[in-house]
Amino acid sequence: MEATPTLYTEHLILRPLELADADAIQQQFPHWEVVRYLNAFVPWPYPADGALTYLREIALPAIARAKSGTGRSA
Q: Is the pLDDT of residue 30 over 60?
A: yes
Q: Is the pTM of this model over 0.75?
A: yes
Decide which of 35 and 62 is more confident.
62
pLDDT of residue 25: 93
Residue ranges per structural domain of the chain: 18-68
Q: What percent of the chain stands above pLDDT 90?
A: 57
**Three-state SS across the chain?**
CCCCCCEECCCCEECCCCHHHHHHHHHHCCCHHHHCCCCCCCCCCCCCCHHHHHHHHHHHHHHHHHHHCCCCCC
